[in-house]
Amino acid sequence: MMVLACLVAAAGALAYAVWIEPRWIEVTRHRVIAPVSAPITLAHLTDLHTTRMGPRERRLLALLDRHAPDVIVITGDTVSTNGRPEQCRAFLSRLRAPLGVWAVRGNWESLKPTTNDRAFYESLNIRLLMNESAAVRSDLWLAGLDDSIFGSSDAAAALAGIPAAAATIALFHAPADFPAVAGKCALALAGHAHGGQIGIPGLRRWWLPRGCGSFIAGWYAQGGSRLYVSRGIGTSMLPIRFGARPELALMTLQPSETL
């Protein structure tokens, strides 16, 4: 009887990890004090690993429509491990935000680039930042780092030219890049680790790719800067999640007097 019960439990856990949790997107909400003139909300997407417009992609689009962020930022690995950038077009073409959609490359975009990455994103009305910065509005700038695993990340170039009084958000894929920008931005956003993707209580997260360092999921602080590592949306290597639900993170930046 005990063996049968264990087998049933194992089968149930596997079914949950394959069919339920990977599609069960959690919306997390966060507030960050920053030198902005008025509140602004960003939707942070990462590690989509998409190859088609499937149930998970449609659910994510519905959530974005519901929450209507001012800005959408993507911190890499939109493409799947076995996919091609063009397969992401159907999903990416549906992204809209009043202050734009912005992206940086992840390790899979670096390994499988298009003929012209910038032109590919521009055709989708997405601004690709590769070791450069840009103003979302006068008081808020994004500094986008290229992928540091297979690309050519340059934090100094990404942060150059940003007005001292502006709030800066650094975008990069691998969270181990955080020390390179710590102390030079109000907020940093990354992904890559998938929250470990498979988490069994009491056991070490087994799926942690190179480039994570000690940053797995959630909030970290260093040098006066804060880093948020999202669990991301998709899966890699194995199409399962357990104890690491996919995540849409909503970041609201507020001046201190509005709190």
Class of residue 4 by CB neighbours under 10 A (exposed 0-12, middle 13-18, buried 19+): exposed
pLDDT tens digit sequence for 19-60: 788 889 999 999 999 999 999 999 999 999 998 899 999 999
Structure tokens at 23: 């599609």
Structure tokens at 187: 């907020």
Residues 6+ away with beta carbon under 8 Å from 15: none
Three-state secondary structure call for residue 37: coil
Instruction: Give the per-residue pLDDT at 254.
Output: 95
pTM attached to this predicted model: 0.94
- Asked if residues 133 and 160 have their Cβ atoms less than 8 Å apart, the reply is yes
| pLDDT confidence band for 7 (50 / 70 / 90) | low
Instruction: Give the per-residue pLDDT at 14.
Output: 62
For residue 204, CA distances in Å to 96, 207, 220 come to 38, 9, 19
Type of residue numbered 124: L
Q: Which residues of 216-245 are buried (b: 16+ CB within 10 A; e: fewer)?
A: bbeebeeeebbbbbbbbbbbbeeebbbebb
Distance, CA of 191 to CA of 106 (rounded, Å): 9
pLDDT tens digit sequence for 65-106: 999 999 999 999 998 877 788 889 999 999 999 999 999 999
More confident residue, 2 or 146: 146
Q: In the chain, pLDDT over 70 holds for what percent of residues?
A: 90
Structural domains present in the chain: 2-258 (3.60.21)
More confident residue, 182 or 112: 182
18: left (phi over 0), alpha (psi -120 to 50) or beta: alpha
- Asked if residues 189 and 169 have their Cβ atoms less than 8 Å apart, the reply is yes
Instruction: Give the per-residue pLDDT at 140.
Output: 97
Three-state secondary structure call for residue 3: helix
Instruction: Give the per-residue pLDDT at 60.
Output: 97
More confident residue, 244 or 167: 167
Average model confidence (pLDDT) across the chain: 90
Mean pLDDT of 216-240: 94
**Nearest-CA neighbor of 173 among 226, 258, 126, 105?**
105
Instruction: Give the per-residue pLDDT at 259.
Output: 44
Instruction: Give the per-residue pLDDT at 53.
Output: 92
Type of residue numbered 233: I
Instruction: Give the per-residue pLDDT at 2.
Output: 64
Q: What DSSP designation does 146 have?
A: P
